[in-house]
Structures are given as structure tokens and as C-alpha cells.
Structure 1
Amino acid sequence: MKNDQLYPESSREMSEKRAALAPEISEAFVGFSKAAFKEGALSEKTKQLIAVAVAHVTQCPYCIRSHTRLAMRKGATKEEIMEAIWVAAEMRAGAAFAHAALAVDEMDKVKP
């Protein structure tokens, strides 16, 4: 890892180290991931666009990079990827706005 990087580079070596520390769980996760992204009722492209959006909400830099690359390999355009990111941004902002109801409810309970 370079000193100016917040996160270490994603690499095969890092993946192998993680897998070696918990091989059975790692293998199960890889299988789950393959099953989740397999063509089904939703296309692989659509699933990757969903993953791009979710990665932006969870703010996982590794996921953002890998699923953006995979979405393009599955045929997504740059415009489709950006729209997916905007949907994620709206949903995240919308959640903050919707949760304001909790604050309003609590404020109504507090007596001056």
C-alpha cells in the first residue's frame, strides 16, 4: 500500500490472504456472489447496475470500482451507470429526509 492511499490495492494476493484466514466462509461467499449475479429474472447487466448504485450508498470503494467495470463489461453505458448513481443519491437523500419524521415526532414529545 502506498503511503498516500487510504485503502490498499485490491489484488489476488489480498484475496488469497483473506480466503486463507477463513476458507470455508470465503468459499461460501464466493458461491453466494456468483449465484446472486447470475442471469435470472434480472439480466446480469441490470444486476451490475443495481450493484453500482448500492456500492455508492454503502460507499465501498472496491465495490464501486469492480461493479462499474463489470457493468460496462455486461453492456451498460456510461450514461446508464451515472443514472444508477443518481438513483442511489436520491434514495440516500430521501432516506435522510424520511427519517426526519423521527426527529419531528420526538420534538413533539418534548415539553418546553
Structure 2
Amino acid sequence: MTDISMPKATRAHADKRHRLAPRPDTAFRHFSEAVFADGALDGVTKQLIAVAVAHVTQCPWCIEGHVKAARRAGASGEQIMEAIWVAAEMRAGAAYAHSIKALELID
């Protein structure tokens, strides 16, 4: 297996991001807080959705952050793994569904 070395996010990165574009950075932080606040969906459910989406988008930072946040919110390892399997099925399902384009072109 190939080790893909990804830089670790640090406080210095966050500070630099904010210095370079403070208004969008602050707006994004507030947006994120609003999105993950309890509402019609509770925090655990929202974090499980985020874990699934992070796997579909293949963002290693999102995977790390949202798995940790899901655990802090009370998600079990089993719930996290099921969310990942849902993501895997959806990604595979998209390839299956898009085969219609190829089927139309084959003949």
C-alpha cells in the first residue's frame, strides 16, 4: 500500500488562512457551526453524514475531523463503519447508474 503523505492541519494554517481572507474565513466558520448544530437532525446523524461524504469526496482531513467529531458526538464504531459502507454503495451505485450512457452508445 502506498503511503500518501498529507500535511497535518495546524493552528498556524488556520491563522494564516484567516489573515489572508478574514471575512470569508469567519463566514465559513459560522456556516459550519450552523450546519452542524442540532436541528431536525441531531449532531450524531450530521456527523455520520459528514463521515460518509468525506469518504466519497476522499478528503483525508475531512475523514479525520469528522470521524473524531462523530465519536465525540457519541457515534459508535459500528455506526461510523455503516456510514462508510453507505458511502461506498452510493459511489458504486453512481458508476452502475451511469452505465446507461455507455449502453446507449454501444450499439
User: What runs of 5+ residues in structure 2 fail to find an aligned partner?
Assistant: none
Name which of structure 1's ranges 34-43 and 19-28 shifts more when overlaid on structure 2.
19-28
Specify the code of the residue in structure 2 equivalent to 1:12.
R
Secondary structure of the corresponding residue to residue 40 of structure 1: coil
Distance in 1, Cα, partners of 2:18 & 2:61? 17
Distance in 1, Cα, partners of 2:12 & 2:91? 34
Specify the code of the residue in structure 2 equivalent to 1:64.
I
Q: Residue 93 of structure 1 corresponds to which residue in structure 2?
A: 92
Q: Residue 21 of structure 2 corresponds to which residue in structure 1?
A: 22
* TM-score, scaled to structure 1: 0.89
- Report the CA distance between 1:106 and its aligned residue: 2.3
Q: Percent identity?
A: 58
User: What runs of 5+ residues in structure 1 fail to find an aligned partner?
Assistant: none
Bigger relative contact order, structure 1 or 2 (CA pairs below 8 A, ≥6 apart): 2
- Report the CA distance between 1:6 and its aligned residue: 2.5
Specify the code of the residue in structure 1 equivalent to 2:67.
T
* TM-score, scaled to structure 2: 0.93
Secondary structure of the corresponding residue to residue 25 of structure 2: helix
Secondary structure of the corresponding residue to residue 42 of structure 1: coil
Q: Residue 46 of structure 1 corresponds to which residue in structure 2?
A: 45
**Aligned-residue RMSD, C-alpha:** 1.2
1:3-82 alignment to 2 at 5 Å? 6-82=5-81
Distance in 2, Cα, partners of 1:96 & 1:5? 25
Across the two proteins, how many residue pairs are aligned to each other? 105
